[in-house]
Chains A and B, each alone.
Chain A
Amino acid sequence: MFIASNEPDAAPPPTRLRALNFALALLLVTLLFYFSFQQVNYHWDWAGIYKYRSKFIQGWFNTILISLAALALSICIGLFFALAQRSRVLPLRYFSKLYIEVVRGTPLLVQILIFFYVVANAFGVANRYLVGILTLACFSGAYIAEIIRAGIESVGRSQLESAKAIGLTRAQTYRYVVFPQALRQTLPPLAGQFVSLIKDSSLLSIISINEFTLNAREVNSYTFSTLESYLPLAAGYLILTLPVSLWTRHLEKRHRYET
């Protein structure tokens, strides 16, 4: 009843059994938390938090907007650099590699601080929301560039040859052979990157961008109720990331075919 089969092609356990065991796991986690809180002798004060619910809601919506804007921009940036990395123009190729290595190798927090207090200042860009979204987009863009590059390269050379043999031009090959397949390959990791982006947007609070985390921290300062501020914060992010994660799994299953 609690043990699943180890065979690779065995059918998954029936839904009722899965639900039961999932509930059991959830119960174990809840018990752990309950026990921890008991030890600490915490006094809950949800009324104080409820007074500030509009701050939470507004911050949550702002996080959604910022994440969407950054995602759209980062896909453009990622696509550009994925192709630029393969460019025949050498300075462009090396610039792309440099950008990707530096951005992926340094913490987002450091990038936000440098971008906002040094670079944006030098260029006279005052709007911190613009700078925040740009920084987040550049950060995510580097990861997306690598995802797209892997997707393009996953299309085997034999297919490029096959395309050549039937007379497709280079552009046609990209359009009808490479990109459709690369897209199916990249969609799952891209969705994963979107989840990361939603979570990473919380770091923008460091330059006082009015998003979800900043609002929760402010409420915490007003009410001194840390857990009552931060548990809804975690829940709020889960509401955003869980659907995307589930959609990712669905995508992976749908487009699995042997090559």
Chain B
Amino acid sequence: MKLSLAAITKRFDGHLVLSDVTLALEKVHTLALIGPSGGGKSTLLRIIAGLEFPDSGAVEINGEHVLFQEEALLRHRRTVGTVFQAFNLFPHLTALQNITLPLEKVHGHATAEAEQIARQFLARFRLEKHGEKKPAELSGGQRQRVAIARAVSIKPKLLLFDEPTSALDPEMTAEVLDMIKQLREEGRDFILVTHEMGFARQVADQVAMLADGKIMEAGAAAQVFESPANPATRDFLAKVLKY
């Protein structure tokens, strides 16, 4: 995909969260956003997802300008699949229903068709036995995988992951990361905010490091991880990769 962020600025309660964020990537499959907590990664992701309005600046995906108005954003969100850290699924619906809901109500599939698609994806991600269970009956890892299945099943042009494994224990983290890796191998485009540096290194082709609302460094993954140019990046990586 082609991604262009131009001078994005965002304030919350007078606090400057994103300051003049600019990034232009011609051909990127997987972009990893890394950096210290509170650096603005999640906010940036949410703006790209169409869930927040920037105070100023522009977002362009594959040449299409994202218009920050409610009606246009509604259409935009339908083309983007977002997976949050937690609370993705609706607790009163089964895993299957959680996936069929957007397929039916947002993307206009017939009920039978939606169910078929949902079951296909559940099977692909080895969740077919859990389709009739409610989220409360699933483990954290299974919940996130259902959330990812839901995001993928609508055939989005872009997937966004906001720290999908931060709330999970190591074992579940691994199963979710496996799934994301699988998606990478299928050739899907996504932007990933994560603290899992080792994983980011494996799957990302481009990396951007955000701290204090500014892009400290951006470039090819191999280069940024091996030899970071910015001292801030170096410090951050040193801390994170210590243990």
In-complex A–B contact (CB below 8 Å): yes
Q: B150 contacts which of A156, A166, A176 (Cβ < 8 Å)?
A: A166
Asked if A257 and B91 sit within 8 Å, CB to CB, the answer is yes
- Binary CB contact string for chain A from 142 to 171 against chain B (1 if under 8 A, 0 otherwise): 000000000000001011011111111100
Give chain B's interface residue range (CB within 8 Å of chain A).
20 to 34
What residue of chain B has the Cβ atom nearest to residue A163's Cβ?
B90
- Binary CB contact string for chain A from 229 to 259 against chain B (1 if under 8 A, 0 otherwise): 0000000000000000000000000000111
Interface window among A65-73, A99-107, A177-185: A177-185
B102 at the interface (CB under 8 A from A): yes
A172 at the interface (CB under 8 A from B): yes
B51 at the interface (CB under 8 A from A): yes
For the complex formed, measure the closest distance between the CB of B113 and the CB atoms of chain A, giving whole angstroms.
18
B74 at the interface (CB under 8 A from A): yes
A177 to B90, CA, bound (A): 7
Given A161-B51, A257-B134, answer yes or no on A168-B105 (Cβ-Cβ < 8 Å): yes
Q: A184 contacts which of B51, B92, B151 (Cβ < 8 Å)?
A: B92
A167 to B134, CA, bound (A): 22
For the complex formed, measure the closest distance between the CB of B98 and the CB atoms of chain A, giving whole angstroms.
9
For the complex formed, measure the closest distance between the CB of A181 and the CB atoms of chain B, giving whole angstroms.
5
A164 to B86, CA, bound (A): 15
B188 at the interface (CB under 8 A from A): no
A24 to B89, CA, bound (A): 48
Listed residue (A164, A165, A257) with the most chain B CB atoms within 10 angstroms of its CB: A165
Asked if A159 and B136 sit within 8 Å, CB to CB, the answer is no
A181 to B82, CA, bound (A): 23
A131 to B84, CA, bound (A): 53
Q: A166 contacts which of B86, B87, B101, B134 (Cβ < 8 Å)?
A: B101
**Neighbouring B residues of A258 by C-beta, 8 Å:** 91, 136
B211 at the interface (CB under 8 A from A): no
**Neighbouring A residues of B136 by C-beta, 8 Å:** 257-259
A168 to B102, CA, bound (A): 7
- Binary CB contact string for chain B from 83 to 105 against chain A (1 if under 8 A, 0 otherwise): 01011111110000000011001
Asked if A159 and B78 sit within 8 Å, CB to CB, the answer is no
**Neighbouring B residues of A169 by C-beta, 8 Å:** 74
Question: Considering only CB atoms and an 8 Å cut-off, how many residues of chain A contact the other chain?
Answer: 21
**Neighbouring A residues of B89 by C-beta, 8 Å:** 162
A184 to B93, CA, bound (A): 12
A165 to B159, CA, bound (A): 11
Asked if A162 and B77 sit within 8 Å, CB to CB, the answer is no
Asked if B92 and A166 sit within 8 Å, CB to CB, the answer is no
**Neighbouring A residues of B59 by C-beta, 8 Å:** none
Q: B82 contacts which of A156, A165, A176, A177 (Cβ < 8 Å)?
A: A165
**Neighbouring A residues of B91 by C-beta, 8 Å:** 181, 257-259
For the complex formed, measure the closest distance between the CB of A252 and the CB atoms of chain B, giving whole angstroms.
15
**Neighbouring A residues of B106 by C-beta, 8 Å:** 166-168, 172
Q: A176 contacts which of B77, B105, B151, B154 (Cβ < 8 Å)?
A: B105
Q: A165 contacts which of B77, B86, B134 (Cβ < 8 Å)?
A: B77
**Neighbouring B residues of A181 by C-beta, 8 Å:** 90-92
Q: Which residues of B contact A (CB under 8 A)?
A: 49, 51, 74, 77-78, 82, 84, 86-92, 101-102, 105-106, 134, 136, 150-151, 154
Q: Which residues of A contact B (CB under 8 A)?
A: 156, 158-159, 161-169, 172, 176-177, 180-181, 184, 257-259
9 contacts between A and B (CB under 8 A): A164-B51, A166-B151, A166-B154, A167-B154, A168-B102, A172-B105, A176-B90, A176-B101, A181-B90
